[in-house]
Amino acid sequence: MGKRQFFGTDGIRGKVGESLINPEFVTKLGWAAGKVLAGHGTNKVLVGKDTRISGYMLESALEAGLSAAGINIGLLGPMPTPAIAYLTKTFRSEAGIVISASHNPYYDNGIKFFSSKGLKLDDDIETAIEKQMQEPMTCVASDKLGKASRVNDAAGRYIEYCKGTFPSDLSLNGLRIVVDCAHGATYHIAPNVLRELGATVFEVGTSPDGLNINKKVGATSIRSCVNAVRENNADLGFALDGDGDRIMMVDEKGSVIDGDQIVFIIARDALRSGKLKGGVVGTKMTNLAMELALKSLGVPFERADVGDRYVVELLQKNNWCIGGENSGHVLNLQYATTGDGIVAGLQVISAMLRANLSLHEIANGYIKFPQKLINIRYSEGISNPIEHESVLSAVTEAEHAMASSGRVLLRKSGTEPLIRVMVEAKEEPEAQKWATHIAQCVEQVSEY
């Protein structure tokens, strides 16, 4: 299959007002999606968004396009991405559409789709939508136009779902929890989930104004959550991103717990309780120390390409449940079809309570290996430097020297002409030594 024109690995994303994220394009996209999806079942699509000011405009554009194609629309309002996936599945809708640019600034936005099963759309359906985009836009007869309606208590439904993933014999009574919602889509969800389960909650990033999403708050700006945990003498903190599919955590000492550590805590708890199904999926960026720690517990581990879409695909292929990325996408297919920050955080807390340990104590399953990353710019006109004989020889030399106690990863940036050289090793000087050696070899063949 050839490269798609509009869809990336996580839908369509761009700056508001430019070639893709504008009313004309998004109306046509809604129509094209409606034409492809029409007649497959309920003929209804759910549309949700995060808190960006452009969400109102794009929601209206999608609504017009879908209606013109004869699709009924259920409007969810501001809702986390995993909530839209969940509600799409429970409402038996044709698809769910998310208007969000996740952790990006307010001036970006995007459109992504979920299937009726709550999963990212298959590539062939995205390709069919792109093909339909090339056709002239039409409109069904007036009596066949789609109708739009608000979905009653979408937030309440999702809050109950999140609470239902937490063990009924446990409670958050006595826990002091900071929740940083990044002024994003979880602002009216996450604090209520935690309070209703018994926690004392301190809110950060729960006052969206359309322009402040992800601004110095949330999973990509963890300092706000760290400071709030310390100031409020909290037991832990949740830091979610703008659309709620990523989480980073902060322990009672103010240390950051990343996605790798969260996945490890959840997997080890599932193993101890006899509920772990198969193994764990990480990505090429997952720290080697986590892989070795899992294997020491007898837990199989495999790496997918970077991107939660690829983690889900490998989990499904292996018939496993738990996986994620160090950036905070955490998946447990037993509970959710996509990364869900709130659900992942609750799973960590349930592991803490069962083990009677603090977050700092339970996160001490392994010590991360030092990692050295060097970016090398290259001329786009030359052949791939990664495949050059001298570079491959340097990588082989490093891997042989470090054996099982280190790892080398070379990859091309998807957005600019850079080669990323990453080396992990048990000791920082060794990581630095081999990263520098390989980077020098890349530079020599890059002809820039």
- For 244-275, write each residue's pLDDT tens digit: 999 999 999 999 999 999 999 999 999 999 99
DSSP strand pairing (176-180 vs 148-150)? unpaired
DSSP H helical ranges for 138-178 = 154-164
- For 320-330, write each residue's pLDDT tens digit: 999 999 999 99
CATH code for position 216: 3.40.120.10
Write out the residue range of the structural domain in which residue 37 sits.
12-153
Question: Residue 1: which pLDDT band, with cuts at 50, 70 and 90?
Answer: very low
- Of the candidates 366, 360, 356, the one whose C-alpha atom is nearest the C-alpha of residue 326 is 366
The structural domain count of the chain equals 4
Mark whether 247 and 277 lie in a shared domain.
Answer: no
Residue 5 lies in a domain: no
Mark whether 265 and 324 lie in a shared domain.
Answer: yes
Question: Residue 447: which pLDDT band, with cuts at 50, 70 and 90?
Answer: low
Q: How many CA atoms lie within 13 A of 87 on its CB side?
A: 29
Question: Residue 381: which pLDDT band, with cuts at 50, 70 and 90?
Answer: low
Region 302-327: mean pLDDT is: 94
CATH code for position 442: 3.30.310.50
- Of the candidates 163, 186, 182, 291, the one whose C-alpha atom is nearest the C-alpha of residue 228 is 182
pLDDT at 380: 65
Distance in angstroms (rounded) separating the CA atoms of residues 113 and 105: 20
Whether the predicted pLDDT of 404 surpasses 90:
no
Question: Residue 39: which pLDDT band, with cuts at 50, 70 and 90?
Answer: low
Distance in angstroms (rounded) separating the CA atoms of residues 196 and 205: 19
Region 52-56: mean pLDDT is: 98
What phi and psi, each to the nearest 5 degrees, are found at residue 420?
Answer: -100, 120
Region 30-46: mean pLDDT is: 86
Q: Quick one: what percent of the chain has pLDDT higher than 90?
A: 85
pLDDT at 382: 63
pLDDT at 377: 86
Of 103, 121, 153, which closes a domain? Answer: 153
Region 410-433: mean pLDDT is: 87
Q: What is the CA radius of gyration of the chain?
A: 23
Q: Poorest-confidence range of 190-204, 212-226, 344-358, 407-421?
A: 407-421
Mark whether 323 and 391 lie in a shared domain.
Answer: no
pLDDT at 37: 85
Mark whether 123 and 212 lie in a shared domain.
Answer: no
Q: Edge-to-edge strand order for the sheet containing 108-115?
A: 12-15, 108-115, 95-99, 44-49, 72-78, 148-150
- For 83-96, write each residue's pLDDT tens digit: 999 999 999 999 99
> Which positions are annotated as active-site residues?
102
Mark whether 181 and 263 lie in a shared domain.
Answer: no
Mark whether 276 and 242 lie in a shared domain.
Answer: no
The 3-state DSSP class for residue 324 equals strand
Q: Quick one: what percent of the chain has pLDDT higher than 70?
A: 97
- The model carries a pTM of 0.91
- Beta strands per DSSP E along 305-433: 322-324, 330-332, 371-377, 406-412, 418-425
